[in-house]
Amino acid sequence: MKTFKKQDLAQWLVNENNDCGKDTYFSEDRRTAMSTDESFKKFMKMTKDELISTIYNFSEEGQKFLEDEEVIFDVFFDDNDNSNNKGFKYSFQECQSYINSNNGTNESYFKDYKGGTVSIVNIQTGERVFETEIK
């Protein structure tokens, strides 16, 4: 299974931003646009999973890039006392669709963890890339 290098994720964001002609990465004071090198350095301060989430939300091209790289995720349920996971090996989009379709229902662990959280976890790194309250 392929894994990402953090610098490759950061570089993808810089390249995609430049290719789209977008001027969205600003200095900390938000007054001036950052150079490509400055943008890269800023992205490198993010965790790998923050970069994955950003790429996924960036565009359809970002989603395709991630799916092509075979990043796999699982869905976890947590409350103050317990934790369970589905054991999925899904794309981010498939996990998000599962949550959106079932949150607020009595499907599987949603019933048992009402008031707790459901999250999407990168199986390779163990980091949570998305989390929401269970309705």
Burial of 16 (0-12, 13-18, 19+ CB in 10 A): middle
Q: How many CA atoms lie within 13 A of 34 on its CB side?
A: 17
Please give the pLDDT value at position 30: 47
CB within 8 Å of 59: residues ≥ 6 apart: 16, 20
Chain centroid to CA 117: 16
Burial of 76 (0-12, 13-18, 19+ CB in 10 A): buried
Mean pLDDT by 10 residues, the chain (135 residues): 68 68 48 67 81 79 71 92 94 89 94 95 85 93
